[in-house]
Amino acid sequence: MEKPKILLIHGWNHLNYTSLGSVDAWGNRLNFTEALSKYFRVVRINLPGFGGQKDPQNPWTVNDYAEYIGGIIQTEKPDYILGYSFGGAIVLHWKKLSGDTKTRTFLVSPAIIRQYEEKDLGGIQKVLKAVLPRSLISLLRDLYLTKFRRNPYYSKATKVMRETYRKIVAVDLRNDLLEVLCPVTLIYGECDTATPVLLVKETISKSRAQHTLHVIHDGGHDIANTHTSELVSLITKGLEV
């Protein structure tokens, strides 16, 4: 009997930028993908700007990435789809846009909403935008992220990927989770500080679909590497092998 097909959508990792020489955006989670291959025909893709794929010609939004994977899904026709971190955000948005009810979906450490340490920065930005010209604000933002924060997701990116990062990093997709009609499975690490499960628990409880939530004890954001066996077990639960 042929194994079912699973399509993997990776997250946003600066080490996977094409401009830095990456040729495989799943190269940092090979143990996980190899473990999945025991149960699935695994299809791994590299999103534009990552793993050897060219940058988008213009900065992309989550919507652009969702439309992009929609074309791949039409071609591959997977039985399952798994989105990791930012990939989880893309897959969730695609589910909402497409109305898909056939593809069983796993969102692992999904970046539905992110947590930020400097919560007062938004207020400062509003003040600066009110008194400074746009060109100066852009320069100050670049200096802040590259020199002060030294954010590698931003500082190591090409210009178009910097702007793409800015467009996607503050997106809140909790309403998408409310509006998706087909249940998805969400898997978080208990100690994930980047995309904490607490930020989405209430939304999950109020969703129209009966989403399934699993929280891996002592897991962080990178549960694919730190809790590989437990994660794969949750994904393959109920799968006929």
**12-63 residue pLDDT tens:** 999 999 999 999 999 999 999 999 999 999 999 999 999 999 999 999 999 9
Give tens-digit pLDDT for 122-179: 554 554 445 445 543 444 444 444 444 557 888 899 999 999 998 898 889 999 999 9
CA–CA separation, 134 and 27 (whole Å): 39
What pLDDT, on the 0 to 100 scale, is given for residue 116?
55
CA–CA separation, 97 and 67 (whole Å): 9
Name the percent of the chain lying above pLDDT 70: 84
> Which residue from 50, 36, 46 is spatially nearest to 80, judged by alpha carbons?
36
CA–CA separation, 108 and 204 (whole Å): 14
**The tokens of 74 are what?**
């039409």
CA–CA separation, 163 and 151 (whole Å): 14
SS3 180: coil
SS3 154: helix
| Lowest-pLDDT choice from 122-126, 205-209, 219-223 | 122-126
DSSP tag of 15: G
Full-model pTM: 0.86
What pLDDT, on the 0 to 100 scale, is given for residue 128?
42
